Amino acid sequence: MLERFKVPHEDQVRVPEDSLRETVTAVFEKMGVSPEDSVIGADVLVSTDLRGVETHGVSNMLRSYVAQYNQGDLNPRPNWHIVREAPGIATIDADRGLAVILGPKAMGIAIEKARTVGVGVVTLFNSGHSGGIGHHATLAARQDMVGLVTTAGGTQVVPTFASEGRLGTNPIAIAAPAKSEPFLLFDAATSAIAGNKLQLARRVGANMLPGWVADREGTPIMEESPVRERGQYFQLPLGGTREGGSHKGYGFALMTEILGTMLSGVLPTMLDPSGGSKHSFVAYNIAAFTDVDDFKEKMDRMLKMLRETKPAPGFDRVLYPGLSEYEEEQDRRANGIPLHKEVIEWFDDITSELSIPRLRVVDSDR
């Protein structure tokens, strides 16, 4: 994550992993979610925070989930069910359940199918937010499979040349296991920047960079400027302008609409604003394609070569997707997860309101 998005040191309060899990689980339970599902939801969010992906962890997301449960937009006890199925695929109606919690179940079904026929594809529609989809992809990687997850939903992104929002930030994630190297995990919005990053930028007082957003008429803003209010901008596809390749970001966003939305048999948000999020979960069983141990050794060789690549002037090192997040996780497991003090205040308010124990923080006798 760019430095500009990190919580400033003076605003950080460190929270132990187990404490955050307990509190988030308790919040889900108070929303009416079953104890078992509450643990799953907390695991997805806290795992994402552990890897430093603040945008999709508890700080940015939990309060909006609470609001959606309270408003009845999310169903805490969804009767999710498979509507169509074949040996390698399934289509699931989420019954307005949160995809943070249903994602691991959908990926679990994809993994079982991949064990049988070599690959499993599960689409999930009529759901709430998925959280950081990279987490769901890693569930396959932990079973010696390649995991691929896509999400579609929203209309805040303008197609190339357009002046009206038509697409969500529609992310794509892939995870693949290695032997000794930390596993590869790529998880990125197909827009120039994730929507949550703009909120985070506002919170930490950072500017937007050229090519991240367009004005209300669809013209890309190509100079650095303060974060505008919601409704005063559209997001741009990855690439920013046509010359920079925005038609590619736009195409990748449409790929997620094909794989998640169309293969679910539903309409995209641009045609059905109330339709919720749509996802696809794919598991490729490595053992069906090749030798698993050999695959992991080759992954090690590739990942090592990438991180040992000579950096360009002005940079310390070359990363691969998932490496800095792995390193962050080691630090956060040991020293706690740094949350913005405003997030701690929100936790204090919500735990008081819901009559659950206060969130414990590191090095504090409060």
Considering only residues 121 to 160 of the shown chain, the ones binding its own copies according to CB under 8 A are: 121, 123, 146, 148, 158-160
| Site for its own copies, residues 206 to 245, rule: CB under 8 A | 209-211, 214, 217-219, 238-240, 242-245
Q: Which is nearer to its own copies, 7 or 214 (CB)?
A: 214
Which one among 265, 333, 349, 362 touches its own copies, defined by CB under 8 A?
A: 265
306 binds its own copies (CB under 8 A): yes
Question: How far, CA to CA in Å, does 36 sit from each of 29, 138, 140?
Answer: 9, 20, 20
Which stretch in 21-29, 94-102, 258-266, 358-366 sits in contact with its own copies by CB under 8 A? 258-266
What is the Cα Rg of the chain in Å? Answer: 20
Q: Which amino acid is at 209?
A: L
* Rounded Cα–Cα distance for residues 104 and 23 (Å): 20
CA 125, distance to chain mean position in Å, is 16
Q: Which is nearer to its own copies, 65 or 284 (CB)?
A: 284
Q: Six-digit token pair at 76?
A: 């805490």
* Rounded Cα–Cα distance for residues 54 and 204 (Å): 12
Which one among 21, 63, 68, 186 touches its own copies, defined by CB under 8 A?
A: 186
Smallest distance, its own copies to C-beta of residue 178, A: 10
Binding mask of the shown chain, residues 336 to 365, with x at each position contacting its own copies by CB under 8 A: ------------------------------
Smallest distance, its own copies to C-beta of residue 325, A: 12
Which one among 71, 312, 365, 366 touches its own copies, defined by CB under 8 A?
A: 312
- The bridge status of strand 89-93 relative to strand 119-127 is parallel
The owner of tokens 């414990």 is 360
| Site for its own copies, residues 35 to 94, rule: CB under 8 A | 84, 86-89, 91
Smallest distance, its own copies to C-beta of residue 337, A: 23
Nearest 5°: phi and psi at 246? -65, -25
317 binds its own copies (CB under 8 A): yes
CA dihedral defined by 308, 314, 320, 325, rounded to 10 degrees? Answer: 120
192 binds its own copies (CB under 8 A): yes
Reference 128, options 174, 185, 85, 71; nearest CA is: 71
Which one among 97, 104, 168, 321 touches its own copies, defined by CB under 8 A?
A: 321
* Rounded Cα–Cα distance for residues 324 and 328 (Å): 6
Smallest distance, its own copies to C-beta of residue 296, A: 9
315 binds its own copies (CB under 8 A): yes
Q: Which is nearer to its own copies, 27 or 167 (CB)?
A: 167
Which one among 119, 124, 149, 221 touches its own copies, defined by CB under 8 A?
A: 119
**Residue 62 CB-density burial (10 A; 0-12 exposed, 13-18 middle, 19+ buried):** buried
Which one among 310, 334, 363, 366 touches its own copies, defined by CB under 8 A?
A: 310
Q: Six-digit token pair at 339?
A: 């949350």
Smallest distance, its own copies to C-beta of residue 150, A: 11
Cβ(1)–Cβ(57) below 8 Å: no
* Rounded Cα–Cα distance for residues 115 and 88 (Å): 10
